[in-house]
Chains A and B, each alone.
Chain A
């Protein structure tokens, strides 16, 4: 079999093309967002939101509304509860986050086991992009497009907020509003990505590309471009792996990202562990 037909074969199936489009869109939006999350120390916020949406998904089926709506309500609700818990107690951020998201995730599991529906828990937890249709694609493109447009428009302010919140405050920016916008977009992105990757692994998309790009550059603009490229490569690699190796798509995408991270960790031109070691040896 020649390479062209090998590459083209999966997309003879409509559901594979659809899956590629959904995974690509989710991975690129998550990757761009991950650059700010990594720099702000918010890496695990994505994990918290993704787990917290489960009761929303279960209730959506019960009420008969699109699952994205219920998920979004609970995602934003979790952000609100975590913020409220932090400001009304002396608990540290990670503790407040941990208490809220585990409680909501457990509530979700309880609801799924009690509500009679066609909700397949496995599909929610691990994603089911191969079973997604044009409707799911529309959700990803809509929510993802909105998120991408907003963060790119506000990128200078978001970067300033991450780097020096006191200066942001000093020039009259409303840090609270900007934080809320970023968290709201994070919730949107998590919801948009659930279909492709599932609750458990979506956090990888929200951390690893930004972390990898951080190892590769000291320029924020380049970091955004590199992260988006890493998201694209891992989405494509993940789709091929799931087709030819019969692997879970979500797991394949995340593994591809982890391999890219490992490569950057070892071989990054400036700070790669192996490169630095060789340089030390050459200098000695």
Chain B
């Protein structure tokens, strides 16, 4: 096999806010087709890592490469997509589910964002895959928590991005939606897409993910979930208090 670059290569990454160090020398690679769970307590730097990969935070040191490209180039070529946390979205905004998924296709359109028949077909297919076809015309805010999340996953599918970042995709999501989203992420990874999810649902990681990264400002452990989620590692990440794993 030819040496294709990793989907995501994070090297020696440091990010500080003033005197506060959020990330301190983070190193890990994601191979193409991996479905990786990023695990850590609040304040461990998960959100900062996502923001830095997206190019929203500037690293003080270190590098991020996406398919061997600088993040700005990866963004311009539409290879990366992001599913935000629920609390980061304005659910009163007057857009329909269909509008939201169509936003995934904007990178394929001209400046006035007039959809082609290919764009419409991609949106219809993505909606079908997350079982929202019947709700396409609804305002996004009228959906349940799980349906809203499915709409944003559909946007990532419609975009046809190669690297998908999902911030807490299962928070506030019903069981049926969680299963549906998990199945879609597994299918995406099987099709060669690379998926990175941040989560504190430790129990779900071995079932869903092909790899895991345990983060606490640095990478404490990375690799197959069974090797990462050992009691010793979790004690390091969660401060030795198994009770705190629940609220992590």
Contact = CB atoms under 8 A, between A and B. Distances in A.
Nearest to B155: A167
Interface in A155-193: 156-157, 159-160, 162-164, 166-167, 169-173
Nearest to B138: A218
A164 B103 CA distance: 10
Interface string A216-230: 011110010000000
A219 B112 contact: no
B43 interface: no
Interface string A17-60: 00000000000000000000001000000000000000000000
Contacts of A162: 93
Given A156-B106, A156-B112, A170 B95 contact: no
B103 A214 contact: no
Given A172-B107, A220-B95, A156 B84 contact: no
Contact of B107 (A159, A171, A217, A220): A171
A274 to B, nearest CB: 21
B111 interface: yes
B54 to A, nearest CB: 6
Contacts of A219: 94, 96, 139
A167 B103 contact: yes
Given A170-B80, A171-B75, A171-B107, A214 B54 contact: no
A153 interface: yes
Contact of B106 (A166, A171, A223): A171
B84 A169 contact: no
B56 interface: yes
User: Which applies to chain B's interface (DSSP): helix, strand, loop or mixed?
Assistant: mixed
A214 B82 CA distance: 27
Interface in B68-108: 72, 75-78, 80-82, 84, 88-90, 93-96, 99-100, 103, 106-107
B61 interface: no
B55 interface: yes
Contacts of B103: 160, 163-164, 167
Interface of B: 54-56, 72, 75-78, 80-82, 84, 88-90, 93-96, 99-100, 103, 106-107, 111-113, 139, 141-142, 155, 159
Nearest to B90: A163
Given A156-B112, A164-B103, A218-B139, A170 B81 contact: yes
A83 to B, nearest CB: 18
Contacts of A172: 72, 75-78, 107
16 contacts: A153-B111, A153-B112, A156-B113, A163-B103, A167-B84, A167-B103, A169-B54, A169-B56, A170-B82, A171-B159, A172-B72, A218-B94, A218-B142, A219-B94, A220-B94, A223-B94
A259 interface: no
Nearest to B18: A90
Nearest to A162: B93
Interface centre among A153, A163, A167 (most CB of B within 10 A): A167
B197 to A, nearest CB: 16
A217 B111 contact: no
Residue in B55, B76, B84, B93 with the greatest tally of chain A CB atoms within 10 Å: B93
